Every structure is written in C-alpha cells, then in structure tokens.
Structure 1
Amino acid sequence: MSDAFTTHVLNINTGSAETVFDLTGDCERFLRVAAAGRDGLLNVFVPHATAGIAILETGAGSDSDLLAALHALLPADDRWQHRHGSPGHGRDHVLPALVAPHATLPVIGGQLELGTWQSVCLVDTNRDNADRQVRLSFLG
C-alpha cells in the first residue's frame, strides 16, 4: 500500500467507569511517523456500537460536563428497548447517534491542526466493555 495512506489500531482500556479518554497524544505520535511532515487528513474511528469520538476541551471540567449532559439526555434506566447488559445499557447503543464514532481532522506539515483548547477524545459510557479499539488513519 502507498505511504499516502497509513493506518494503526490503538488498544485502549477505559476501565469500569464512564469516561472521556484523551487520545490527542496517541494521534500526535502516530502522525510523527505516518505524516512525516506532510499535509493530509487524520481519521479517528472507534468500531464499537457503544462509543464515540469527540473534539473538546479536557481537564477544565468539559469532559465531566459532557458525561453529565449525556446522563441528562440518555438516562441509565429501564426505558430502553435494548436491554442486555448492565441496567440502562440500551442508552450506550444510542450514544453514537449523538457522539459520532469518527472524526476527520486536518494535518498541516505533519501536525494535527486543533484549536488551542481542543483534544481528540474517546467517549465511552459502556461499563460492560472496557476494551476498545481506535483506528487512526492518515491520508496525505
């Protein structure tokens, strides 16, 4: 395959609590090799029916605010038709409709072009499956 397209899979363990997991450093490490100073696009994709990718500020409370907003929009109770797993697990299957399972980001000169406070994050509300894969793909 051409070096214009490079892909790598991250294996992430998100633990037993709902989380916003910062992937920015992983993306930057991948791009140092994959982009090698070139312009292009980074696609970040999580191949799971109960997780998403978000671009947001972390560390100043926004990650906790996102989880709180998801709790308000998608309560973990018995209202969901999808009922296997822990109580309220059906909401986890609705999450990717609100937090997409992918993001495509510009890469300029081999560097991820994010705003000052932006981070690339895996959003995982599924407490039943902590083992996640995230596919990073560079096209340039």
Structure 2
Amino acid sequence: MPTAFTTTVLSVSTGATETVTDLTRDCQSFLDEAAAGRDGLLNVFVPHATAGVAVLETGSGSDEDLLAVLHDLLPADDRYRHRHGSPGHGRDHVLPAIVPPHATLPVVGGRLELGTWQSVCLVDTNRDNPDRQVRLSFLG
C-alpha cells in the first residue's frame, strides 16, 4: 500500500529561451503510482529563485501570451539592481512574485482534477540556467 506522503524530483531542461513547459503528463504519471487511486493533494514546487509554476491552457497560444505579458511587465533591461548573468536577469528574480514557485492541486481517485483546458506548467524566463528541478509531492 502506498504511503500517505510520497515525493519525487523531475529534471527538466528548458533550453536557452524563455519557456512554458507542460508538466501535466509528468504529474499524472507520478500520481498513477503515488496516489494509487486515492484522493489527496499534489504539490508542485520549483526550488529555484527564477522560475514558477502556473496552471493555464497550453497549445492555443496562451503559453506564448503569458511570456509576452511577462516580458511587458518585466522587461529584460538594465533597470534592476540584481545584475549578474545575462542582461535583464534581475527580472528573472522578480518572476516568482508574479508566477509563484508552487501550486497545490486536488487529486480525486488518483487523477489530477484540472479543468478541461488547464495544464500544469513550469514557467522559466531565465536563459542562464536551462537545468531545472521540479518536486512533485502527493499527500493523501
């Protein structure tokens, strides 16, 4: 019988561009084993100071729209006090205040309970660090 709390870490390569990476299948694959048909909560956490987790529609342009809005809100220029890395990298450190580094989602009968068009996504605007970790934890 599965334990009440199970966790794993995904390694995700986001490349050298700003990205929205859909993690929904990875989350459900984890739940297939960890939840084993039970109800509970899935927590998705990104232990990075320059990335976040969003629940949004993908594939219809919403992911690109999110990146465009973030670019408008947080331009990659020299206005930031945090100045190491590529130009405008300071904005990447502000990102988690807008797109938080975590999401907690309901699991019913071992299945992630998302709306029809919702996906769980890693949002990464930091072109300097393409190697990300995402912790998935099930409590049920």
TM-score normalised over the length of structure 2 = 0.99
Q: Paired residue for 1:106?
A: 106
Q: Paired residue for 2:73?
A: 73
Displacement, 1:26? 0.1
Q: Paired residue for 1:55?
A: 55
1:31-76, Cα deviation, whole Å (9 max, x unpaired): 0000000000000000000000000000000000000000000000
Q: Distance in 2 between matches of 1:125 and 1:3?
A: 35
Q: Number of residues paired by the alignment?
A: 139
Q: Paired residue for 1:86?
A: 86
Q: Distance in 2 between matches of 1:136 and 1:80?
A: 32
Displacement, 1:78? 0.2
Q: Paired residue for 2:136?
A: 136
Instruction: Output the amino acid matched with 2:42.
Output: L
TM-score normalised over the length of structure 1 = 0.99
Instruction: Output the amino acid matched with 1:116.
Output: T
Instruction: Output the amino acid matched with 2:133.
Output: Q
Instruction: Output the amino acid matched with 1:90.
Output: G
1:79-137, Cα deviation, whole Å (9 max, x unpaired): 00000000000000000000000000000000000000000000000000000000000
- Name stretches of at least 5 consecutive residues in structure 1 with no aligned partner: none
Aligned pairs for 1:18-57 within 5 A: 18-57=18-57
Q: Which runs of 4+ in 1 moved over 4 A?
A: none
Identity of aligned residues (%): 81
Q: Please say if 1:95 is aligned against 2:104.
A: no
Instruction: Output the amino acid matched with 1:76.
Output: A
- Name stretches of at least 5 consecutive residues in structure 2 with no aligned partner: none
